[in-house]
Amino acid sequence: MADPNRPVQQRRGGALKRTDFFAAMRANRRRTTVLCLLLILIGGVLGYIIGLTFEVFSTNDPEHSLARGLRLGSPAGLAAGAFLLVFGTGWTLIALFWGDRIVLGLAGAREVSEEDQPRLHNVVEEMAIAAGLPKPKIYVVETPALNAFATGLRPEKAAIGVTAGLLGALTREELQGVVAHEMGHIANDDIVYMTAVGVIVGMIVLIADIGLRSMRFVGRGRSSGGKGGTAAMVIMFVILLVVLIVAPIAAMMLQMAISREREYLADATSVKFTRNPIGLINALTKIGGSSERFTGAPRAIQHLFIANPFRKFKKTSGALLATHPAIELRIERLRDLG
């Protein structure tokens, strides 16, 4: 069996010509849309449970409020769920408007001119022409780690960032594969999806964290209540605790699932643009074999990079807890396209 960590010297055409990249893109977009809807649903459920808890603990008939709420008839729960959905949408729109600047700032990227990086500019221009998109702005991050990312709200405002370590380690062919991968994210609207998903997940985690911290005060000020009322409040307390713990975990798992699907799609799109899988295969081999880590990258944007800046994911890594597919699996898919 071929060693997946060995750079490929030659293998062109063949099965790659039979690959239906458009079908793969459509399938991954459908999956991502479903996952985004599930994320929004998690936010709505979280809001409903918080509203129902408030109603149960503030009414004179907790047992009746709990029974009605479990039938999805809680006015406070419905109002809180709707508010959270509207608030999340507004937060997402604000983040999308400023998202590219935020990402570039968090990554510590600086824009470079064609005089500073002629090879990088030339490769980006080539891949932009292949993708039929405007040439993105180009940024470099001063770190020895091997990594790259794309950001922007639309192709006309997109930016590609690469690390200094990547520029020094890759050949021109390998750099083409990486840049084409990032152009794939831009062409497939991944950067918009991932920014929106990241913001929604962040909102869910933040609200759940506030809820957990506030639980110590739940029920304070209520000095009386019958056995039925007390039992209802205990049940609601347990439901709220479970939801506050499970909701952010489920949201982050869905975020990671979206990231993994998008990386596979961008890999396939890279081959579509370059007509050559060898460059990306060899680039991924070098990235996976590097021991340098991008310690300056915040975890909030780790899913935007071509490889996770903090850890390597192996075939044996738990898929539900991985932001990226294992490098070995990505190389295998690129070798076996078709």
- Active-site residue set: 182
Pairing type for strands 109-111 and 137-141 reads antiparallel
Task: Tell me the CA distances in angstroms from 154 to 93, 180, 185, 189, one per residue in order.
Answer: 13, 17, 11, 7
Under 8 Å between Cβ of 327 and 307? yes
Residues sharing a CB contact under 8 Å with residue 55, sequence separation 6 or more, in sequence order:
65, 69, 74, 75, 76, 77
Rounded Cα–Cα distance for residues 204 and 263 (Å): 24
**Residues 112, 116, 121, 123, Cα dihedral to 10°:** -130
How far, in Å, CA of 77 to CA of 70, rounded? Answer: 10
Could you tell me the CA-to-CA distances from 21 to 30, 122, 163, 185 in Å, in that order?
A: 14, 25, 28, 14
The CB-side HSE value for 18 (13 A sphere, CA atoms) comes to 5
DSSP element (H, E) containing 79: helix 75-107
